Amino acid sequence: MGYIIMINPNILNKTLSKKDIVSLLNTKENDILELMKLANTRSTNKISFSKNVFIPLTEVCKNNCGYCAFKKDPLNPDTIILKTPDEVLKLLKEAEKFNCKEALFTMGEDADNEKAVQDKLKELGYSNMGDYIYSICKMTLDKTSLLPHTNAGNFSYETLQKLKEVNVSMGMMLENSSPRLMETIAHEKSPGKDPKIRLETIENAGKLKIPYTTGLLIGIGETKEEIAESLLTLKDLQDKYGHIQEIIIQNFTTSPGIEMCDYSEPSLLDMIRTVCVSKIIFKDELSIQVPPNLNLETNQIFLLCGTDDWGGVSPLTDDYVNPTSPWPTFNQLERLTFDAGYQLQERLAIYKKYINPEYLNDNLLAKANNLLKSMEK
């Protein structure tokens, strides 16, 4: 006991130091319930979600993360080297039948380092991945009612600037800000997970006023101090640019065949503490999200810790990043949300406060507003 800071309601009005956060992340016994109560101070009883279609444009990646179940060998005949525009459009048209509004485009990072991808790009008439992604997103805007959201790892400032024109929002998990993890099984073979590079990408998105999704991966060998540093780093970026619309607190889950298949998953209490602290730090300035498909048995608990968003959920496609964790149905989400005392509310891939000319060009703004009006009828 004795964690005075944890049970003092004034914590909500305090700028937390690293020491404060580490103390909170070590909360024990009944203080955990007090921490949950403080974190679950919210301005609305709405819990949002985005109905999406999840489209992996390529499964090739330059990184070899110890926890990854997404990357595939380019020599494997079943690997997605690069989806053709026709293949993507077919999926998008199917998604419209399910009333999806978000086209989530994911892919391995710097896939065009591989010759197989280079050859496919050339065959399709593109010189690099940036041009290809731009074309796919533009096609989505021109030929469907869906709004593109690209999550593809690090990009240069120039590529981000180009993709901003055809995406209502973008994203990339920070994972953790600690360079130490680059020397561990999690990231030692993954140059793209260098936190300096990832933080530069997130900051450039802020400079360009791109509504952005990021987050932490919990259970990959990080310390409580490193979680605290990561949250404070994201808080600094948010204070400076205001472009982070949601932070995902994602738990590591083991999968067959990954290098870390024998590693322990984070405990429920570790997740509770991290979610609570994240909510206390960021309050209502952005959404805190825990992936529902990774926590089917416990996801209601996180609502009581202050989470206010389920994230993107697809009625059509799998979660290709977490293939062993199927999405809950929308009926399940509604039941779980209502049972915890809240109301489920659909949102777009861009949060409402960012739907303005400061963040979107005329074309994106018109499409987002039209979709928003159709949802509010």
Measured CA to CA, the distance from residue 105 to residue 136 in angstroms comes to 9
pLDDT at 142: 98
Q: Which helix or strand (DSSP H or E) is residue 347 part of?
A: strand 343-347
Task: Retrieve residue 8's tokens.
Answer: 């003092």
Mean pLDDT of 274-282: 97
User: Token pair 């159709």 is at which residue?
Assistant: 374
Measured CA to CA, the distance from residue 289 to residue 308 in angstroms comes to 7
Tens digit of each residue's pLDDT (9 = 90 or more) over 339-354: 999 999 999 999 999 9
Contacts of 232 (CB under 8 A, 6+ apart): 18, 21, 281
Q: In the structure, what pLDDT confidence band is assigned to residue 7 with cuts at 50, 70 and 90?
A: low
Tens digit of each residue's pLDDT (9 = 90 or more) over 213-267: 999 999 999 999 999 999 999 999 999 999 999 999 999 999 999 999 999 999 9
Contacts of 362 (CB under 8 A, 6+ apart): none
Tens digit of each residue's pLDDT (9 = 90 or more) over 54-107: 999 999 999 999 999 999 999 999 999 999 999 999 999 999 999 999 999 999
Q: Nearest CA to 328 among 340, 339, 313, 343?
A: 313
Q: Where are the beta strands (DSSP E) in 224-269?
A: 244-251
pLDDT at 138: 98
Q: Which residues pair with 49 in a beta bridge?
A: 346
Q: Which helix or strand (DSSP H or E) is residue 47 part of?
A: strand 46-58
pLDDT at 4: 44
Task: Retrieve residue 217's tokens.
Answer: 């991966």
Please determine, for residue 12, whether its predicted confidence score (pLDDT) is greater than 80. Answer: no
Please determine, for residue 333, whether its predicted confidence score (pLDDT) is greater than 50. Answer: yes
Third-level CATH fold of 4-376: TIM Barrel (3.20.20)
Q: In the structure, what pLDDT confidence band is assigned to residue 44 with cuts at 50, 70 and 90?
A: confident
Measured CA to CA, the distance from residue 319 to residue 108 in angstroms comes to 14
